[in-house]
Amino acid sequence: MMKQQFIFGLAILLLMILLPLVSLQEASGQKQEARETTSARQPEAPPAAAPADPREENGETIQVVRSASGKTETLAMREYLVGCVAAEMDANNHLEALKAQAVASYTYARYRREIGGREALSDSGKSDQGYDDARRRGERWGGNSELYEAKIGQAVDAVLGQTITYEGQPTFAAYSALSGGKTESAANYWGDDFAYLRSVESPGDKLSPDYSKTVTLQPEEVKKTLEKAEGVKLGKDPAAWFGKPQRSEAGAVTEIAVGGKTLSGRAVRELLELRSAHFTIEHKNGAFEIKCLGYGHGVGMSQYGADFMARQGSDYKEILEHYYAGCVVT
């Protein structure tokens, strides 16, 4: 009898120990099932979408005639603008100046196509505006290629698609390296009047190390070159070859008498391959000393002046709206 009571008591004790363990396992299983069910019903949120890349948003292309081969290539507009900025402006310039150049280059391309009716643009700065492809950029920049590609790419991406407009239309966004302290009006240089291509102050240009350059030419060279112009006949006395020049508000030569024929300052500049039409000519010591201020035609945005303005705190819109009078960037 005592033995049976002992066995019965031991059984009760074992049940008291095992029942809580079973209950815990069931509870644990229920919690695990609950976690799995919740996970199935509430999946993890997808990662936030990456910011839109302007290179992917803008599918615009442009046709470019490569001067080396004569072939026409179709380029993505972003690549074209990177190549234009690289060819036309020093990559060491301030980022805001590079942005201004990118907008000017894009606007110029739009004007040529939409207003001028051009299907393709040349990659030559003498015909349209310069363009350097990636291979050419790498050759020029060498070890700085990665840095300069990133910087110019950043400038282009920041303004891709923006246009300089006048009365709602893309402008003839002319630009040159350096003025003589004031930009030139299009009417004075090209004879074509654009309301937004007027003479404006560009004081930073006077600080450029390239602001003033003097060349010396021998009379024989000058005579041979200038007599290519129709009606120009130069006598024996070189001191009498040039008359007193007429000058624009900006100081460039608008016209000058040469051997009895009146030539434009632009014509003399191109014949003698001078840096600008803002020149003075002196005959001394048996030769001609020709001093030029600025570099280029001087119409529209001065690239050096743009960099100067940027370093004084102006952003690209302020730069563009200064050089293109009455225009807005849209």
Main-chain phi, psi angles of 41, to 5 degrees: -80, -30
Q: What is the dihedral of CA 169, 172, 177, 178, to 10 degrees?
A: -80
User: What pLDDT score does 189 carry?
Assistant: 94
User: What pLDDT score does 59 carry?
Assistant: 83
**255, 200 Cβ separation under 8 angstroms:** no
What is the residue-level pLDDT of the chain in tens, covering all 330 positions?
Answer: 444 444 444 444 444 444 443 343 443 444 333 333 223 333 333 344 444 444 444 589 999 999 999 999 999 999 999 999 999 999 999 999 999 999 999 999 999 999 999 999 999 998 899 999 999 999 999 999 999 999 999 999 999 999 999 999 999 999 999 999 999 999 999 999 999 999 999 999 999 999 999 999 999 999 999 999 999 999 999 999 999 999 999 999 999 999 889 999 999 999 999 999 999 999 999 999 999 999 999 999 999 999 999 999 999 999 999 999 999 999
Beta bridge partners of 130: none
User: What pLDDT score does 201 carry?
Assistant: 97
Tally the C-alpha atoms within 13 A of residue 254's C-alpha that lie toward its C-beta: 12
Q: Give CA–CA dist 106/108, Å, rounded.
A: 5
Q: Is 321 helix (H, G, I), strand (E, B) or coil?
A: helix
Directed axis angle between helix 265-272 and helix 219-226, to 10°? 120
User: What pLDDT score does 32 carry?
Assistant: 39
User: What pLDDT score does 58 carry?
Assistant: 59
Tally the C-alpha atoms within 13 A of residue 13's C-alpha that lie toward its C-beta: 6
What is the end-to-end Cα distance of the chain in Å, rounded? 106
User: What pLDDT score does 56 carry?
Assistant: 44
| 95 burial level (CB within 10 Å; 0-12, 13-18, 19+) | middle
User: What pLDDT score does 14 carry?
Assistant: 43
CA-based R_g, the chain, Å: 36
